[in-house]
Structure 1
Amino acid sequence: MRKEAMTVFEEGQLYSAVTTDADGQVQVHLGEDHPGFTDPVYRARRADIASASLAHRPGQPVPTIDYTDEEHGVWALVSAELAAKHARYAHPEYLEAKAALALPTDRVPQLHEVTQALMPLTGWCYTAAPGLVPLREFYADLGRRTFNSTQYLRHPSEPLYTPEPDIIHEVIGHANQLASPRFAAIAQAAGEASERLETEDALQFVADVFWFTIEFGVMNDGGVTKAYGAGILSSYGELDEFSHMDIRPLDIPTMGTLNYDITAYQPVLFEAQSLDQLEGVVGTFFESVDDDLAARMRAEAHAHA
């Protein structure tokens, strides 16, 4: 499987491209395999929500979206289905943070509500994004304890599946995770690292370590592998599959260079033995990485490949 510089934030990979026509009309370009591709109502709805995000300026209130009953229903259904799986598969640190954040499960929360709940816990806030956020901008915001989040929901015909991150992934996956001071500190350290990095290769290395930890990390809990990564914890299907994958010890050089397919369940996962180990290995890496260290680790991984 080839990664070919794909990241969580790269246009045309996980996020549908958003463009603005010469007449100011916003278009969201869904792939032909997207459940909403042939649904003009859904496409128009996506464009409206993207328009609100595009019009948002720093310092302004985050756009409020008037969600429909159908959209609230999708959120409620997915929340209930994921909650049952979280109870079985999520790491206790995530479960405690989720309980502390206490987001609504019967309706889609506004991003300003997510911020209001997060700020007293970890000092993080949410801002709106139409979809793609450039890699450096996304990480710079993480360093400022700001998470760029989409506001749209997946197509109602497949509520338990989405080919791209939607507000369910961004909030149920990431906001609950960021309600843990310890997970939040690791994410912030990744963001702060981006400000030290000058080369795109080094930034990509950090993004890939982030992928295998904050997005798709797993952790030992009393001899049982539990998930703490937002990508797993927001995926109904992946929660049933992750424990059967090739699970390896934490290995920064390998995590920063391993090829992976973002469109499929992750076949290789990296397991921390404890939260202390995650902080000591991954947190310390994010806190200390510079261009030279990233280059050395990349060379080390290639030498052992």
Structure 2
Amino acid sequence: MAGPAADSPKHGLAAGDGAAPARADWTIDQDWAAYTPAQHATWKTLFERQTKLLPGRACDAFVQGMAALPIGADEIPDFRRLSDALMRRTGWQVVAVPGLVPDAVFFEHLANRRFPAGQFIRAPHQLDYLEEPDVFHDVFGHVPLLMHPAMADFIQAYGEGGLRAQRLGVLDMLARVYWYTVEFGLVRQADGLRIYGAGIASSATESRFCLDDPSPNRLGFDVARVMRTHYRIDDFQETYFVIDSLDALLDLARIDFAPLYAQTRGAEVMAPGEVGVGDRVVKRGTGAYHAARRG
């Protein structure tokens, strides 16, 4: 995975406090008409690459959601049209933000069924790696599953839970749940393991690695285990957690996390590639990829 160029601009919160937009909720106008032909061409390159790669890899709900939305290869989607389709199906809408937003703002949007999507698109030299979530990651990766009722309810519940976790000082625990589900989750279907996490679905390299490479672990999802598991932000994941169905997220959305926070607080946090005694192992990885990276 190649890193971004040193002169790549930062967006939203990553650009510093002075980059905050005028609105307190950090929303901006998408200004769809301002996208350039080159930016639409970048979207087209990314879109065509992923849509060729994901059949047989993405879960059925992702494929169905994509087909039901006004998303195509030729242009960056208009958030207003996406919101119209989402509102009819699950009551969600997409709002434009400049990039990363403060945690409290992010949770407030999710709790009110508003998905904040980065308005910018990556540069052509960043096709394979981007530190920040752009419009391709946010829209292509996340929005199709917002058409699924279980995911729609789970992400709203996550927003509500995030506001509580901030007050309790346990946001790191809840962030791991989001990372290993919404961003990098796998789901079991009758025809095998499939991708539902947006961080995988929007990445050509990780779409292959998570299912095909012998290196990573695939473990059965257990929320308490996930809450005390570090994750990678700089490379492929060393472990992917597998849920049995997207509907299992509804059960997760209804959990009272307070006892789990009490149970997990102070517990040893596990390394990303560690397999514990009580883990439900779907497939134990070799660890070869990350061992080679560490030299």
- Which of the residues 258, 264, 269 maps onto 1:297? 264
Q: How far apart, CA to CA, are the structure 2 residues paired with 1:246 and 1:203? A: 25
**Structure 1, unaligned stretches of length 5 or more?**
1-32
What is the CA-CA distance between 1:289 and the residue it aligns to?
1.8
Aligned positions of 1:91-170 closer than 5 A:
91-170=59-138
Taking the TM superposition and a 5 Å limit, the aligned residue runs for 1:44-59 are 54-56=21-23
Match for residue 20 of structure 1? none
Deviation for aligned residue 1:60? 8.4
TM-score under structure 2 length normalisation = 0.79
Structure 1: how far apart are the matches of 2:118 and 2:171? 22
1:214 to 175, 178, 182: 182
Of the three residues 182, 194, 207, the one matched with 1:226 is 194
1:53–1:129: 8 Å Cα contact kept in structure 2?
A: no
Instruction: Please identify, of 112-121 and 251-260, the stretch whose mean Cα deviation from structure 2 is larger.
Output: 112-121
Would you say the 8 A contact 2:119–2:135 is kept in 1?
yes
- Quote the offset at 1:269 in angstroms: 0.7
1:267 aligns with 2:235: no
Aligned with 1:63 (options 30, 53, 57): 30
Offset from partner CA, 1:168-188 (integer Å, 9 cap, x none): 000001111212122111111
Letter in 2 for 1:186: F
Q: 1:83-105: per-residue Cα shift (whole Å, max 9, x none)? A: 11221200101111111123132
DSSP-derived class of the 1:213 partner: helix
Change (3 A) 1:53 1:72: farther
* Aligned equivalents of 2:170, 2:189: Cα separation in 1: 32
TM-score (ref. length: structure 1): 0.77
Greater shift, 75-84 or 114-123, is seen at 114-123
**What is the CA RMSD across the aligned residues, in angstroms?**
2.8
Identity of aligned residues (%): 29
**Worse-matched range after superposition: 120-129 or 199-208:** 199-208
Structure 2 residue runs of 5 or longer lacking an equivalent are 271-275, 278-295
SS in 1 for 2:71: coil
Q: Deviations over 1:270-298 (max 9, x none)?
A: 00122233433x2333xx223x4312134
Corresponding residue pairs, total: 262
Post-superposition shift, 1:198? 5.1
Does the 8 Å contact 2:28/2:97 carry over to 1?
Answer: no
Shift of 1:115: 1.6
- When residues 132 and 276 of structure 1 are mapped into structure 2, their CA distance, relative to the original with a 3 A threshold, is closer
Q: For 1:174, what is the secondary structure of its paired residue?
A: helix
Shift in alpha-carbon separation, 1:207–1:92, aligned structure 2, 3 A: same
Contact in 2 for aligned 1:256/1:298 (Cα 8 Å): no
> Which amino acid in structure 2 is aligned with residue 293 of structure 1?
L
Gap change, CA 1:207 and 1:108, over 3 Å in 2: same
The match for 2:253 among 278, 283, 300 is 283
Contact 1:219–1:273 under 8 Å retained in 2 = yes
